[in-house]
A and B are shown apart, each in its own frame.
Chain A
Amino acid sequence: MATSNRKRSSVLALCAFVCLSILAAGAQERGREGAPQGQAPAGRGRAAGPGYLKLFDSNMPFEPRDLAGVWTPNGNGFGGGGRCRDCGDRGYSFEFPELTPAGQAAFDKNIPSYGRMKDSADAKAHPEEHIGRRRAQPPALGNDTYGTCNPMGMPRAILYPDPVELIVLPDRIYQHFQWGYGLRTIWMDGRKLPAPDDVDLPRWWGYATARWQGNTLIVDSTGYDERTWIDYFGYPHSDQMVLHEEYTRTNFDTLELRMTVTDPKYYAKPWVAEVKRMHLLPKDFIQSSGWASLLEDLCAPANENEFNRVIRDPSGTGKPAVPVRPAAPTPAPRRR
């Protein structure tokens, strides 16, 4: 009986933890609200505990250079929803960026749909946040290329709440993002990263190399397609951007990521992100159809274009869905 009560208490405690920690993640989605760098905001639902869906004993022994596995920054382990309380939000950084005139012009052209609504009372009530987090408009009025399923690139992809699988090979590491089923290659075969000006053909996923510095994996990358955004709030980057990432496994189930964007064309000084975290999932945790693996969490244009036509655009404009253009009539066969 005592054992049964203990089990029941444990399960209910887990419940309460999941509840409160994920509610707290809501504040992370909206903004830091004055918390210190890298820390979760204070506020409604703030709970004690690790702040994520805890599935391992963090104190188990681990190999610091073994990064292979499925890591998640969200609260449910599967995908979507909010990022976990200690993972950092969808924004790249709460630090105000110092934009150059060219960077400011590029920033002004981007119209995101995440963050506080433009000109709303909510937006006006948070002057402590950079305007990038306070200018959201409905997607129908925005210009996010992700709205038509284009790849997010980096660092935006790592800010999405979906899990990412690190596949470690002798000469490279693949980051396999569940969202979009995107694949980024980080080369570790000793090749040199090209200088931004030497990149002939930009890539949605950029060019990346890595090396170990102690037990931290240092990743440098460049050559990103300029149509990708740094994060969900529409911060731009130019063809001169170099992204510096540092991945450190701090315990059995936690991977920390520190990032710095250097882009002298758009940013007057390097822009540093808060620490982002991901947590290890058991290999067979994500399942569908009895099949354990990352989900094929694709944004397929075949689905998205129709969604945009019948729901996204009417909801943003108030106008009825634009009818599908009828197929061109088949020309009559020629007489011989």
Chain B
Amino acid sequence: MRARILAAAAALGCVWLGTATLAGHHGTNISYDRSKTFTAKAVVTEFKYVNPHVQLFFDVTDDKGKVRHWSGELLPNPAMLIRSGWTRKRSGEALQYGTKVLVTAAPARAGGDTALVLRIESEAGEDLLSLGPVLPPPGAAPAR
């Protein structure tokens, strides 16, 4: 039974690995620069589980105490999140206002404070929303 659960989880993880890197629902993927992917401690300010773009808004504070307000979109839509077990309620509970997380994201090519969120981890290291591992762009240094 345990093997089956692990296998199912691995399979779904692979689904993300294969699909989440493929396409934004309106081609938005192309707006972001994965060669500049960063990982940062963040605080959730808002989470929207809406079709077709799930969105995470978060604050990142730098070493000097300056806060940057990020607006991020996720590649999977609600259908894909439901498929991996991340229902609206479960996702919303995991990403409530004020939750501390570790966010990996690719910023917009055009600059500014928008990003494509590639991975969200809880403080305990749990992969939230099963976004899976982040594939580095070809030839790029590891994100962290």
Contact = CB atoms under 8 A, between A and B. Distances in A.
Interface of A: 7-8, 11-12, 14-15, 18-19, 21-26, 29, 45, 74-82, 90, 112-114, 117, 136-140, 142, 144, 146-147, 161-162, 178, 232, 288, 295, 297-300, 303-304, 307, 310-312, 314-321
Interface residues of B, number: 47
A322 to B, nearest CB: 13
B64 interface: no
Nearest to A233: B27
A314 B108 contact: yes
A314 B20 contact: no
Interface string B25-67: 1111011100000000000000000111101000000000000
A77 B31 contact: no
Contacts of A45: 18
Given A19-B17, A80-B79, A315 B110 contact: yes
Interface stretch (B68-76, B95-103, B120-128): B68-76
A311 B12 CA distance: 28
A90 to B, nearest CB: 7
A313 to B, nearest CB: 9
Contacts, number: 181
Given A297-B77, A311-B55, A25 B18 contact: yes
A15 B14 CA distance: 8
A80 B76 contact: yes
Interface of B: 3-4, 7-8, 10-11, 14-15, 17-28, 30-32, 50-53, 55, 71-73, 76-80, 82-83, 87, 108-115
Given A11-B3, A14-B7, A19 B18 contact: yes
Contacts of B32: 315
A297 B51 CA distance: 7
A146 B26 contact: yes
A26 B83 contact: no
B15 A76 contact: yes
Given A14-B7, A15-B11, A300-B51, A162 B79 contact: yes
Contacts of A232: 27
A113 B15 contact: no
Contacts of B76: 80-81
A314 B71 contact: yes
Contacts of A15: 7-8, 10-11, 14
B67 to A, nearest CB: 16
Contacts of A312: 26, 28, 31, 73
